[in-house]
Amino acid sequence: MQQITMTPIGIIHSPYKQVKDMPIQGTFKPQVSAHIELKDEYAPGLRSLEGFSHAVILYYFHKSKKQELLGRPFLEDKSNGIFAIRSPHRPNHIGLSVVKIERIEKNTLHFTEVDVLDKTPVLDIKPYVTYFDMRENVICGWVDKHFKNGKIPTRTILKKTKK
Amino acid sequence: MQQITMTPIGIIHSPYKQVKDMPIQGTFKPQVSAHIELKDEYAPGLRSLEGFSHAVILYYFHKSKKQELLGRPFLEDKSNGIFAIRSPHRPNHIGLSVVKIERIEKNTLHFTEVDVLDKTPVLDIKPYVTYFDMRENVICGWVDKHFKNGKIPTRTILKKTKK
């Protein structure tokens, strides 16, 4: 399997300049907004996306300079495999977020539910489709215990503890 | 924004050898199974993933040799922007599927809900997390009308029509 070369299609402009400012997921600070500025030549690719409420954005974790196979998620003290967590320090450094589409203007996609750093390069945008992307009876391993009773965890990336 | 180089972490072994054999989404043929064979060195990255019912897999659409900005989805006669459809002929050719984890053995992830071709290179695996990846009140643009009343569309990729 050979190497694959990708070219960013645009860039994210976000109020989050540093990791420590961000919520662990964008839905936890729904009032924050950001936008993707696509390179002009990709603007036609946004046609019809305004009919969707949400999009999946794929991007490059440009601030991560390392690759780990085990990592400790923000909510945990013990480490898990990199493919069981959402850490940026993963092979290929691809990030994925579901965002809420607010409006589209020419080459710009305005969105809320932001959990991405400013200046993040964008690799792809896909429509979020209920019938493809949602599942029933989902079990979330080590994550579930942190969200019991529908609560948002009080322990965020700002409150790291070490053991 | 400069180019980014990625290295596949493994390969998908799937019963689907050709596009025409595949359902439009894996949930529509839930009995079919496939597996991801990771390169040995990435096996530790799977630790704890067995606690999750579903994973998001990101892969490279290796059979697509072209890039389009507009495309006609399988269910439609009119074209939409590439970022409003899930076509493989997209910039950077990244595919995304939510799959059901069946079991994990060393470097192998067995899954069902398959909609990926045999020999597809894998770029990343992420745990599917309700609190991050599911949304309420989702509106799906041109897609919704094809799934009215909870029905699976009878028109699949095997039944292309041209106008």
Residue A22 carries which side chain, given as an amino acid letter?
Answer: M
Q: pLDDT by residue (tens digit) across B90-110?
A: 999 999 999 999 999 999 999
pTM: 0.92
**Ranges A15-24, A63-72, A149-158, B5-14: which has the least confidence:** A149-158
**What is the average pLDDT across A30-47?**
95
**Ranges A8-22, A49-63, A146-160, B131-145: which has the least confidence:** A146-160
Separation CA A36–CA B112 (nearest Å): 34
CB contact under 8 A, B143 and A131: yes
Interface of B with A in 103-142 (CB under 8 A): 121, 123-135, 137-142
CB contact under 8 A, A92 and B134: no
Neighbouring-strand partners of residue A46: none
Separation CA A155–CA A142 (nearest Å): 15
CB contact under 8 A, A49 and B125: no
Q: pLDDT by residue (tens digit) across A48-90?
A: 999 999 999 999 999 999 999 999 887 788 899 999 999 999 9
Chain B's closest residue to A87, CA to CA, is B126
Residues 6+ apart with CB under 8 A from A14: A34, A114, A116, A117, A118, A120
Separation CA A55–CA A129 (nearest Å): 8
User: Is residue B161 pLDDT above 70, yes or no?
Assistant: no
CB contact under 8 A, B69 and A126: no
State the pLDDT confidence band at A161, using cuts at 50, 70 and 90. Answer: very low
Residue A73 carries which side chain, given as an amino acid letter?
Answer: P
Neighbouring-strand partners of residue B56: B98, B126
